[in-house]
Structure 1
Amino acid sequence: MSEPGPASIPTSADPRSKRPTKRRALSPTSAQASAVTHLFTNPERDIKIPTGARQKTLAPPPEIVANVQGSSAGAGSGEFHVYKASRRREYERLRLMDEQVRQEEEKREFERKMEELKKKDEEKTNKNRKRRMKKKEKANAVKADNDKQMMDVDKIQDANDKAISAANQESANNGDAAGDDLENAVEVKDEGGIVIHDDD
């Protein structure tokens, strides 16, 4: 009789089974976890980090050409494959040259566009900066004008206070009756159009 085993374990996962475990498609997270686990198995080993896209290059041409083809019209069918390989290499060389030219043109176009965008950004920044400076100067001018008006009002106030104190001193000197009339009739006009009545 066989040993009773847990029914929920698949046959491939059973430790008594000799079958290899099933390989499943890895999700991106499990693939990354597997790669990290593999890297940590031997931490002293150097890790090669790719430096970017590799440029396609052709193998250098041979220094010695063993079977030079002639231009005779009666070339045999044995030379057909040699001719096809030679033509394929030449077409690949021309394709790579065209690709290189196209990449250089794209790079120049990209740099030109970036330069234009940078120039536009600088112009917009300068325009906004000038607008902000004008606004700031206008605010400073309004503030200075307000400060000047406040100083003028303070001067007028001081002049009115001096006039009132002078009138009070005169009234004290001339007597109480004359002083009362003066106090009631004190009107001081300033150049700003402010009239102050002193009613005590």
Structure 2
Amino acid sequence: MSEPGPESVPTSADPRSKRPIKRRAVTPHSEQAGQIETLFKDPSKEIRLPDSSNPRTSSSLAPPPEIVTNVQGSSAGAGSGEFHVYKASRRREYERLRLMQSEVDQEKDNAEWEKQREEAKRKDDEKTEKNRKRREKKRATRGKKGGKDSAMDMDKSSTTKAPSVPSQTDQGVNAEGQVPHGEVPGVIIHDED
């Protein structure tokens, strides 16, 4: 049997060949896989993300020419190349006008949104003020009544206070530790039998 010779190796894969290696059509899947492989080759390497591009505005475009030279009519002397020059010029001008219009629309939308926000804030403030006045009026009438509501307020205020520790004088014992004659500390039970 014979060994495979150089003639069995495809020309593009032969290291002696000067031909460029054939490149296959890249699918989105294989392109993404290739990018991920390069990222994982050196995980410690810092990944640089491209800066987010600023939105294009009419001021970012080149201004239209002030003097147009070599202006030709629709048919007289117009060569085949002039059509593409005209189309490019028209495309640039339409792009500039479109960007100017979008800026105007954006400003209009922003002003309208700001107006709606201010209107909503004003309505919220009015409603808050109305509710505050209603609460104050309710409190004022509750304080004048002195009925059940004020008694409940007193109960609530008494439960919120910290309980006081009774001193010895509150229990019927004077400062010297003696019990006065008429009072006996403790519970008094009356038998009616």
TM-score (normalizing by structure 1): 0.45
Structure with greater helix share of residues? 1
Structure having the higher Rg: 1
Q: Using CA pairs below 8 Å that are at least 6 residues apart, which structure has the higher relative contact order?
A: 2
TM-score (normalizing by structure 2): 0.46
